[in-house]
Chains A and B, each alone.
Chain A
Amino acid sequence: MVLVLAEQNAGKFKKATLEVVTYGRKVADLLSCECTALVIGETDAAATLGQYGANKVLTTADAALENFDSQTYTSALGQVAEKVGAKVIIIGHNSTGKSIVGRLAARMDAGVISGAKSIPSVSNGFVVEKNVFSGKGIASFTLDTEVKIISVMGNSIQPEIIGSDVSPESVSLQIEDSKVTVKERKTVSGTVPLPEAELVVSAGRGMGGPDKWGIIEELAENIGATTACSRPVADTGWRPHHEHVGQTGVAIRPNLYFAIGISGAIQHLAGVSSSKVIVVINKDPEAPFFKNADYGIVGDLFDVVPRLNAALKEFKANNN
């Protein structure tokens, strides 16, 4: 049995959750077993997880699980895993997953891969790849424990609709009261959070100051991207810290990464090198980033980016 934690946000499943359910389906196919999804909290959408390959959907609306706490969530997932006899447990590698994946492995004394980037290979042992050394290397881990736990990097797999709705069943659990009180959640609305973003527009010191980012925001808006920045930019306060991508910031793997006025220091590259397509705009033809890019434009970003914005507007007008 494969067990997937299907996280919901305000009653809805984000793409990241559908990716994890699809991943679970593929692991279940490899092991010729069923895939069960666990949904914590109230949602009308639980049944739809069947479309992504869950054979069974379990729900719990236990009041002790109303707010996220690593201890109560680990207890819930652990209890369900024991009930259904889960052999592989799959969680998204996001703030929830990172908080519980280690706890769950310790609770179940299980092998664990946090941040898997591929579907396991089962031809010669159970092998899963993940990035190591902050994106500079890839390691294949072999797990031989009875229970295996995997947290999956976002954007590692695309959700696939392969089935139809299944009726959710509610599961009763014994959850102790949480020792952590959530006072407030402050999220930026309207944009896709960086770790989940498929398109990212990032800029660096080449911007010259905090007051010229209009063209970057316009570019992001033109393609529906999330904005990001390099470390010096976040450190000097030109942009908020949560936009900092790189080895000491957020590691991302979008489909498209625009690096504008970023030289490409090794620490920055480590956090973005898993991007599928990289476009570099820099006035210095010797910028190291050009060695790690798919498309390069040598020019002044204050000329090039407005020109790109105009071209994108024209493209959109012609494609609508």
Chain B
Amino acid sequence: MKILVCVSKTPETTANINFVNNNTEFDTNGVSFIMNPYDEWYALVRALEITEANGGDVTLINVGPAANDAVIKKGLAIGAKEAVRIDAEPTSALFVAKQIAAYAKSQNFDIIFTGKESIDYNGSLVGGMIAELLSLPYISYATTLELNGNAATLNRDIEGGTEVVEVQTPFVVSAAKGMAEQRIPNMRGIMMAKKKPLAVVAAEAADDKEKVTEYKVVPKDRSIKMIDPENMKELVRMLHEESKVI
């Protein structure tokens, strides 16, 4: 089984978000970066479990500058065999997907994993784009993936429930919570990661189809009204008359 896991670098989950340059850029000052949790906890770990059970190797791919190598090395320490970094700023989802599809095209991966979304732009776009560019089936928001030879059975999240689907390799899948449990890299993994190959590949030309022109921090304009815990009639009255939500 030859598996490609697409990983992105995102701000850490508790990071405070601010914008600079007249609110046109994300302020990276004081922000620590991590591997996108859905990519790490669910996509990468499930990919490793599959190759541990069936044989095969996991390759990591990231589109980003050299500063992303720390995140990629963590993935190698968790257990991926090798990594590829496409050397370019990941300026839009389609740009990233085109880079990954161009790399994957000649490699015959059985499964291409992404996380269900990245926690920075929350677009949930790249997996579907890669699938379309490579004409592969795409299963999004998968919470389980079981393989039997080349046949995969997956559960995927739908509104208020689950859909069970079957598909043959090769396919693209986006991994959601439930797919696997987070793995913490051990010292041996960290030492071994230093010797694993990390290829740096030049990017293909591709333009961005959309662009952020302005950012805003979500206004915290709620002014709280404290209500006497003995007087829930007052809360009901306010929700009905003032906020008109019930």
Contacts and interface: CB of A to CB of B under 8 A. Distances in A.
Decide whether A and B are members of one complex. yes
Interface of A: 68-71, 74, 94-95, 98-107, 109-115, 125, 127, 130-145, 179-188, 191-196, 199, 223, 241-242, 244, 247-249, 251, 255-256, 266-267, 273-274, 276-280, 290-300, 303-304, 307-308, 310-312, 314-315
A188 B160 contact: yes
Given A295-B227, A307-B232, A311-B232, 16 more contacts: A70-B139, A95-B156, A115-B124, A127-B213, A141-B212, A183-B153, A187-B159, A187-B161, A188-B161, A196-B159, A256-B245, A292-B220, A294-B243, A295-B239, A314-B233, A315-B240
Given A141-B213, A276-B245, A180 B137 contact: yes
B204 to A, nearest CB: 14
A295 B132 contact: no
B34 interface: no
Contacts of B225: 294-296
Contacts of A304: 229, 232
Given A74-B132, A194-B160, A297 B226 contact: yes
Contact of A134 (B122, B137, B165, B238): B122
Residue of B94, B164, B239 with highest tally of chain A CB at under 10 A: B239
B188 interface: no
Contacts of B130: 106
Given A94-B159, A102-B129, A241-B177, A133 B11 contact: yes
Contact of A181 (B127, B160, B167): B167
Interface residues of B, number: 82
Given A105-B125, A141-B213, A294-B225, A133 B119 contact: yes
Given A110-B209, A134-B119, A256-B239, A70 B138 contact: yes
Contact of B215 (A139, A279, A299): A139
Contacts of B126: 102
Q: Chain B contact residues: over half helix, strand or loop, or mixed? A: mixed
B90 to A, nearest CB: 14
Contacts of B123: 102, 112, 114-115
B16 to A, nearest CB: 8
A109 B209 contact: yes
B128 A296 contact: no
Nearest to B206: A109
A137 B167 contact: no
A311 B232 CA distance: 6
